[in-house]
A = this chain, B = another copy of it.
């Protein structure tokens, strides 16, 4: 540490630069484990910065577990296993250009890094790169070995009886909806979407200038009362776990929807984006398992494996598959070929089932943790919505404050929380509903976050 030279850059807070530099030294082993760091005052003096600056840097390192404090003795470098090191959480980096540094970010859409099967995935990925197939162009509709695995997984886990020929692999729900829309817009000029619902799907339908009709969703479930008054014969739904309200469609509703659709000769687009993570019962069967004649089933590996892997799939009914293949046979598959091959092997070796099982338990515990924290801090001030499945929970806040105020207050207390009003077309909630993702937070972070939220909203 004695020879450490800091050259401060312009435009970046000094505490952050100190923090970054120290982190790097620790990661690279330049500062040995259990070595004592200079005191806050010593470091401040030697760098000619304020004590507050060095204090902030140390606090950040402390919070992230790079160092530990021994009361009055000072700060020491944490003992860690090199490979595990990066699993110790650091602040979530958000896409939004945001000036505020948040201590806790309740962003949904990340997965638990600590329990990712890193070693197994590395082994498989490394092996895949020795195969000749990895050096060529792949199948335009996705690698057959992966389609096989998906097919048997869907049968076991979702009751969907399909075959490799009807599965199309793509690189995300929206990318697949764009392709699908090309086909469907020949026969359909509008589509029914959930309100509130997944914005990404709506945007993909707008890509093809399909007009939108809306199906109201409430905390109590989907409102089917006006279904027969809607003009469209195409409907996009998230029946297993509605996005964002978290409700699930019960069997009578599912059957009703299928019947309605069949009688209209329409198509249901079933987005089953995170059905793996249901905590109270086993996952509900997919619509496509009840009657797949006119159901287009969409799934992906974003929530269950890695959002960035960009592998998704759809199961097309017999009525569409040939037309789809004719339309897209000269289009390259957009999903990474080595990743597809690795995922196929990962599934074939049984690792996928083990991973899902493990993660379900972990996320269940985290869900339980956030729900208890919310209950104990807020009691009747909030209503918890959607705590039976998924990687986020919603809270309806009975404080007579706007969504904007709630988010802003949280932010001022170092907590980033998310709105749900953005998902609505016209079916707005009477009281604000806040979205809290927790998948990549530790229990300690969840607890701290809810505690800070309590302060923020008091």
* Chain B contacts for A125, CB-based, 8 A: 122, 125
Interface residue A172 (Cβ < 8 Å from any Cβ of B): yes
- Expressed in whole angstroms, the minimum distance between the Cβ of A142 and any Cβ of chain B is 12
Flag if B110 contacts A135 (CB, 8 Å). Answer: yes
- Expressed in whole angstroms, the minimum distance between the Cβ of A335 and any Cβ of chain B is 7
- Looking at A36-44, A49-57, A266-274, A302-310, the stretch in contact with chain B turns out to be A302-310
Q: Which residue of B lies closest to A113 (CB)?
A: B135
Q: A95-B139, A330-B199 are in contact. Are A307 and B337 (CB under 8 A)?
A: yes
Q: Roughly how many angstroms separate A110 CA and B86 CA in the complex, as a whole number? A: 36
Contact with B along A155-185 (1 / 0, CB 8 A): 0000000000000000110110010001000
- Expressed in whole angstroms, the minimum distance between the Cβ of A321 and any Cβ of chain B is 17
Q: A125-B125, A137-B110 are in contact. Are A93 and B334 (CB under 8 A)?
A: no
* Chain B contacts for A107, CB-based, 8 A: 136
Flag if B331 contacts A174 (CB, 8 Å). Answer: yes
Flag if A93 contacts B330 (CB, 8 Å). Answer: no
Q: A174-B331, A203-B330, A207-B182 are in contact. Are A86 and B132 (CB under 8 A)?
A: yes
Q: Which residue of B lies closest to A422 (CB)?
A: B330
- Expressed in whole angstroms, the minimum distance between the Cβ of A85 and any Cβ of chain B is 8
Flag if B136 contacts A307 (CB, 8 Å). Answer: yes
* Chain B contacts for A442, CB-based, 8 A: none
Interface residue A338 (Cβ < 8 Å from any Cβ of B): yes
Interface residue A411 (Cβ < 8 Å from any Cβ of B): no
Report the interface size class on chain A.
Answer: 35 or more
Q: Roughly how many angstroms separate A92 CA and B135 CA in the complex, as a whole number? A: 10
Contact of A130 among B86, B111, B131 (CB under 8 A): B86
Contact of A174 among B83, B133, B306, B332 (CB under 8 A): B332
Interface residue A419 (Cβ < 8 Å from any Cβ of B): no
Contact of A111 among B135, B308, B309 (CB under 8 A): B135
Interface residue A250 (Cβ < 8 Å from any Cβ of B): no
* Chain B contacts for A132, CB-based, 8 A: 86, 89-90, 92-93, 113, 440
Per the 8 Å Cβ criterion, residues 358-411 of A in contact with B are none
Contact with B along A134-157 (1 / 0, CB 8 A): 111111100000000000000000
Interface residue A126 (Cβ < 8 Å from any Cβ of B): yes
Q: Roughly how many angstroms separate A116 CA and B95 CA in the complex, as a whole number? A: 33
Q: A307-B136, A309-B336, A310-B336 are in contact. Are A86 and B200 (CB under 8 A)?
A: no
9 new A-B contacts, CB < 8 A, other than A118-B130, A175-B332, are A83-B130, A97-B139, A107-B136, A126-B126, A136-B307, A138-B307, A174-B331, A306-B338, A310-B333
Binding site for B on A (CB under 8 A): 83, 85-87, 89-90, 92-95, 97, 107, 109-113, 116, 118, 121-122, 125-126, 129-140, 171-172, 174-175, 178, 182, 199-200, 203-204, 207, 302, 306-310, 329-340, 440
